[in-house]
Structures are given as structure tokens and as C-alpha cells.
Amino acid sequence: MSPPDARAVIVFDGTCVLCNGWIDFLLRHDRRGRYRFAAMQAPSGRTLLATHGLDPDDPSSFLLIEGEHAYRDVDGIRRVLTGLGGAWRAAHVLRLIPGAVGDPLYRMLARNRYRWFGRHAACRVPSPAEAERFLQ
């Protein structure tokens, strides 16, 4: 496990089925424990979104915070995937997609995430084994 100050934070929608699937994927593949998670509905998630210029009540961007830097949308997703190491480093090819193309596509997905993938009635509750990875 990485030391706490070395871990990045991913803000996600705790009621979104797609977003929770992404978190499940990361929990399975992030063997080094590099990433922590903050639901946008939790106080920590709302604060992180607002601090980085996103509306906590209507986020349409992906947010990754690594140290003093924040990354959004396709660039953030690319950084998360390459941060998993191994074969996931191949995600660097996402750099070839210009932000002017990839980011609007991502935001379209984000705006339609409930309609296309569904929504849980309540935020995800981490298991006791996952709890230390989730911010409140």
C-alpha cells in the first residue's frame, strides 16, 4: 500500500451505476492502493469539486487529484489508467485524442450517465476491507 500522502483521490458519483462500476474496476486493479475515492455526495467530494471549479450539484467532469494537481475528463482517466502500471500504461495512447474532441464526448457521457446506465437509490457503502480507501 502507498503511504497516504502519495495516494491520489478520484471524485466519483456515488449513485451512478457506471461510476460505481469504474470504482469496482479500480479496486480490483489498483493492487498498490494508489487511489482513494470520494463520492461527490460526501462532504469531502463536494469540497474537492468546488475547490477545483466544478459544481458539486451538477458535475459533468471526471476529477482526479494528484498532489497539488487536478486532472479532468479524458486526461484524468488516462492518468488513472496509466497509474495502474503494467499493461494499463498503454492508455497513454489517449494522449492522441485532442481535448477538444475527447472532453466533450466524456461530458456527453457524464450528462447521460443515469439515463444510459442507471442510478442507485443511495450512495455506495464500502465494505470494511475497502473503507480506508474512501474519504467521507
> Which amino acid would we find at residue 23?
I
For 4-28, how does the pLDDT look when each residue is reduced to its tens digit (9 = 90+)? 456 899 999 999 999 999 999 999 9
Model pLDDT, residue 6: 66
Model pLDDT, residue 58: 81
Nearest to 79 by CA among 40, 20, 26, 126: 26
**Residue 51: all three cell numbers together:** 475547490
Mean pLDDT in residue range 116-120: 95
For 97-107, how does the pLDDT look when each residue is reduced to its tens digit (9 = 90+)? 888 899 899 98
Q: Are strands 134-135 and 35-39 parallel, antiparallel or unpaired?
A: parallel
Model pLDDT, residue 126: 93
User: d(Cα 23, Cα 70) in Å, to the nearest integer?
Assistant: 18
Q: What is the DSSP string of 56-78?
A: TTS--S-EEEETTEEEEHHHHHH
For 32-84, how does the pLDDT look when each residue is reduced to its tens digit (9 = 90+)? 999 999 999 999 999 999 999 999 988 788 899 999 999 999 999 999 999 99
CATH numeric code, 4-122: 3.40.30
Q: Residues 6 or more apart from 89 whose CB is under 8 A from it? A: 82
User: How high does pLDDT run on average in the chain?
Assistant: 91
**Residue ranges of domains in the chain:** 4-122
What percentage of the chain has pLDDT greater than the value 90?
Answer: 76
Model pLDDT, residue 2: 46
State the pTM of this model. Answer: 0.89
Reported as a pLDDT band with limits 50, 70 and 90, residue 135 is very high
| Collapsed DSSP state (helix, strand, coil) of residue 9 | strand
**Residue 101: all three cell numbers together:** 474532441
Mean pLDDT in residue range 118-136: 93
